[in-house]
């Protein structure tokens, strides 16, 4: 039984609607538009919203959307056939009204489609019930009943002999193959000499031939022995006793042992005191812009610009005739696009996306979404299939990188200040992606904007994690001393050592920040793999107990398919181990090591597509100022670059 069936235009005008139950279809259809159609996720023609399953079909020629909804516990096999039949009949029946392409004509038009829909629904339900009776197959009809009789009649007594002969030949071939190069020394002289062949296809050799062959074998063995001995003598080198010379690697350069000695110097048995570290890095890391404003990510390089300039010069010298024919090649002359027209272009686009580090499954879904978006669309006369598909893919990628919710930390922090409470941010992710380093970068950015920061060291597992944050705190304090802020401490570390409960430390840090008047609390957690159930349970406990304002997943830009697995399992673990009805999931993404991937920026697409969450920060280096905000158009341009 269907809950509803609705037909509406892409402009939002509902042309016709069938309501099977009393509940309104507005909520599920709006969720479909918001989560699928506007987010360019139309590759899969099915969408689940609460207890309903929605199936939809796009008509790109007339800009229509056909949506059917039913309970997801039901298995309705006729839905696909029904939606195709309704689409075909409605388009053919009201073609003239739809082709006017004006909202007023659609509003004034009367689409009396109820009787036709009920007829199609009855036909679809009856066709699903009518099935041909399945007859059990008899033994006489199977090939197993025929096989023994044929083998006994046709090939009786012949195949065993052939098998035995073949087996003897195979055994002889195996024995000859085991001798290796001796086979050639035996067979070649026999063929040249033309000796008589016996009844068993063997060669009878005389005494002179046997002596000659043995002599050749001896010479071969003797020659091999001398070669081996020569090699061993060359490799052996005189070694000095009592001393082991350091190994010198080829192309390794010359290394000075004195330079490589980093041990602590001593005088009279006591270690010398190292000079104090110079932390005057203000001139080096002041790069976030005036007032601490983040710069946009720039994926272009000077090498690429020079290459494009050089490539344009020789192209201008080519003949115009070949360029004209190349431009006219593949033009679509005012016809609607089909899957066959786009298949080869989409295959190349999919391979290109995978080569740019986009996860394979997501690359397939993106191409399917573009195909469903363009199928049936009428193209202009001077439009090629390649350019049309590429433009549609670019628009889809830009839309994906601009998800539903935009995270504005500065606005949210000022809102928390008015409520006189600290703004809490929790960082999570797998091992070695740069959580602590990028936490320090975000701390520097917040300090540049005039907010005080309390860093909570909740990584009580990794050795050196607290010391790393203490070093960052000392350097940030040097850059923003209390003297510059009226005696107010701008950055401080809250730590309780190792082996403690991370959730308890985070709770104490938030309470301490509220009492001391800190604006922001940045919670650093231990790195954990997505398959480690105990550690994921501890992370879910930390987030559930402390309810942070923002949960950031830190992932590196080097991963491809692994990014999808990490994000899916992190969200699933947070949902499973939270113990509440509406669990807290990941709110945003911090993409690190972006300066190491050149133009292979596909991880940004994979992470945003799988979570529908924005990329809040992008790490581009190892200094405090190497923090950028995502520029969607720059990332897409780098992704589409050949």
Q: Report the distance separating Cα 225 and Cα 158, nearest Å.
A: 50
In the structure encoding, which two tokens stand for residue 545, read together? 């107990």
Whole-angstrom CA distances from 174 to 164, 167, 169, 347 are 15, 10, 9, 47
> Among 282, 288, 366, 281, which residue's Cα sits nearest to residue 618?
288
Number of neighbours of residue 310 by Cβ within 10 angstroms = 9
Query: What pLDDT sits at residue 425?
Result: 96
Q: Report the distance separating Cα 477 and Cα 159, nearest Å.
A: 90
Whole-angstrom CA distances from 381 to 377, 378, 508 are 13, 10, 68
Is 627:294 a contact under the CB 8 Å cutoff? yes
Strand-pair category, 520-524 with 423-428 = parallel
What is the 8-class DSSP label of residue 37?
Answer: I
Which residues are within 8 A (CB) of 33 and not within 5 positions of it... i.e. 6 or more apart? none
Backbone angles phi, psi at 198, to 5 degrees: -80, 180
Number of neighbours of residue 235 by Cβ within 10 angstroms = 7
> Among 424, 410, 455, which residue's Cα sits nearest to residue 584?
424
Cα 456 to its chain centre, rounded Å, is: 31
- Longest pairwise C-alpha distance within the chain: 112
Query: What pLDDT sits at residue 216?
Result: 83
Q: Coil, strand or helix: which one is 469?
A: helix
Which residues are within 8 A (CB) of 263 and not within 5 positions of it... i.e. 6 or more apart? none
Model pTM above 0.75: no
Is 434:554 a contact under the CB 8 Å cutoff? yes
- What is the CB-side half-sphere exposure of residue 335 using CA atoms within 13 A? 10
Whole-angstrom CA distances from 419 to 414, 415, 509, 587 are 9, 7, 18, 21
Angle between helices 632-640 and 602-611 (to 10 degrees): 120
Beta bridge mates, 590: 554, 617
Is 370:393 a contact under the CB 8 Å cutoff? yes
Query: What pLDDT sits at residue 547?
Result: 92
Query: What pLDDT sits at residue 236?
Result: 46
Cα 457 to its chain centre, rounded Å, is: 30
Q: Report the distance separating Cα 26 and Cα 32, nearest Å.
A: 10
Is 568:576 a contact under the CB 8 Å cutoff? no
Query: What pLDDT sits at residue 38?
Result: 76
Sign, Cα dihedral of 531, 533, 534, 536: positive
Query: What pLDDT sits at residue 641?
Result: 83
Strand-pair category, 52-59 with 46-49 = antiparallel
- Mean pLDDT per 10-residue run, the chain (642 residues)? 86 84 80 80 77 86 86 85 88 77 60 87 81 68 66 51 46 45 42 43 65 82 55 46 59 49 45 44 44 69 45 41 45 68 89 89 88 79 79 86 81 93 94 92 94 94 92 94 90 92 94 94 92 89 93 88 85 85 88 87 87 89 90 86 76
Which residues are within 8 A (CB) of 623 and not within 5 positions of it... i.e. 6 or more apart? 281, 284, 285, 287
Q: Report the distance separating Cα 143 and Cα 146, nearest Å.
A: 5
Q: Report the distance separating Cα 9 and Cα 557, nearest Å.
A: 39
Q: Sort residue 268 into left (φ over 0), alpha (ψ -120 to 50) or beta.
A: left
Which residues are within 8 A (CB) of 161 and not within 5 positions of it... i.e. 6 or more apart? none
Query: What pLDDT sits at residue 241?
Result: 52
Number of neighbours of residue 133 by Cβ within 10 angstroms = 4
CA dihedral 229, 232, 234, 237 (to 10 degrees): -140
Sign, Cα dihedral of 627, 629, 634, 639: positive
Q: Report the distance separating Cα 609 and Cα 632, nearest Å.
A: 13
In the structure encoding, which two tokens stand for residue 197, read together? 């062949």
Backbone angles phi, psi at 412, to 5 degrees: -65, -35
Beta bridge mates, 336: 378
Is 392:349 a contact under the CB 8 Å cutoff? no
> Among 366, 447, 458, 425, which residue's Cα sits nearest to residue 587?
425
In the structure encoding, which two tokens stand for residue 180, read together? 């290796």
């Amino acid at each position: 039984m269907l809950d509803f069936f609705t037909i509406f235009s892409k402009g939002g005008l509902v042309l016709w609607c069938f309501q099977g139950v009393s509940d309104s279809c507005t909520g599920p259809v709006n969720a479909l538009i918001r989560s699928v159609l506007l987010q360019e996720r139309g590759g899969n023609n099915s969408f689940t919203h609460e207890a309903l399953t929605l199936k939809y079909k796009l008509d790109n020629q007339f800009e229509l959307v056909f949506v059917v909804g039913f309970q997801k516990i039901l298995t309705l096999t006729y839905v696909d056939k029904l939606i195709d039949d309704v689409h075909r009949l409605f388009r053919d029946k009201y073609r003239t009204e739809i082709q006017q392409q004006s909202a007023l004509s659609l509003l004034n038009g009367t689409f009396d489609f109820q009787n036709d829909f009920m007829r199609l629904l009855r036909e679809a339900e009856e066709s699903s019930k009518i099935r041909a009776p399945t007859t059990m197959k008899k033994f006489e009809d199977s090939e197993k009943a025929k096989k023994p009789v044929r083998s006994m009649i046709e090939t009786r007594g012949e195949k065993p002999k052939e098998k035995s002969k073949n087996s003897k030949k195979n055994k002889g071939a195996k024995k000859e193959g085991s001798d290796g190069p001796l086979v050639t020394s035996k067979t070649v002289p026999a063929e040249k000499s033309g000796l008589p062949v016996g009844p068993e296809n063997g060669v009878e050799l005389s005494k002179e031939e046997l002596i000659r062959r043995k002599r050749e074998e001896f010479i071969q063995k003797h020659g091999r022995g001398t070669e081996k001995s020569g090699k061993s003598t060359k490799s052996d080198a005189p070694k000095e006793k009592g001393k082991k010379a350091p190994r010198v690697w080829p192309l390794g350069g010359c290394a000075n042992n004195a330079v490589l000695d980093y041990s602590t110097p001593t005088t009279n048995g006591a270690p010398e005191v190292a000079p104090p570290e110079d932390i005057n890095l203000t001139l080096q890391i002041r790069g976030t812009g005036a007032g601490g404003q983040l710069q946009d990510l720039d994926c272009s390089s000077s090498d690429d610009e020079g290459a494009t300039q050089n490539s344009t010069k020789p192209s201008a010298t080519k003949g115009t005739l070949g360029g004209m024919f190349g431009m006219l090649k593949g033009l679509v002359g005012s016809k609607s696009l089909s899957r066959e027209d786009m298949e080869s272009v989409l295959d190349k686009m999919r391979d290109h996306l995978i080569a740019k580090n986009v996860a394979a499954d997501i690359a397939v879904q993106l191409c399917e979404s573009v195909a469903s978006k363009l199928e049936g669309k009428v193209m202009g006369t001077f439009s090629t299939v390649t350019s049309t598909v590429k433009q549609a893919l670019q628009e889809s990628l830009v839309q994906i990188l601009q998800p539903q919710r935009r995270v504005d930390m500065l606005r949210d922090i000022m809102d928390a200040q008015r409520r006189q409470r600290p703004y809490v941010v929790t960082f999570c992710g797998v091992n070695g992606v740069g959580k602590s380093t990028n936490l320090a970068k975000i701390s520097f950015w917040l300090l540049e904007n005039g907010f005080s920061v309390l860093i909570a060291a909740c990584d009580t597992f990794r050795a050196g994690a607290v010391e790393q944050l203490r070093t960052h705190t000392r350097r940030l304090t040097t850059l923003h001393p209390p003297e510059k802020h009226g005696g107010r401490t701008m950055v401080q570390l809250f730590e309780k050592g190792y082996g403690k409960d991370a959730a308890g430390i985070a709770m104490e840090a938030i309470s301490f920040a509220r009492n001391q008047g800190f604006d922001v609390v940045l919670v650093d957690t231990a790195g954990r793999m997505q398959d480690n159930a105990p550690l994921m349970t501890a992370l879910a406990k930390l987030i559930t107990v402390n309810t942070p304002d923002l949960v950031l997943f830190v992932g590196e830009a080097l991963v491809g398919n692994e990014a999808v697995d990490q994000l899916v399992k992190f969200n699933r673990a947070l949902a499973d181990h939270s113990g509440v009805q509406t669990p807290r999931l990941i709110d945003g993404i911090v993409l690190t090591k972006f300066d190491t991937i050149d133009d292979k920026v596909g991880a940004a697409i994979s992470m945003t597509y799988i979570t529908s969450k924005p990329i809040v920060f992008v790490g581009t280096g190892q200094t405090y100022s190497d923090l950028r905000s995502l520029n969607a158009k720059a990332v897409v341009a780098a992704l589409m670059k050949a």
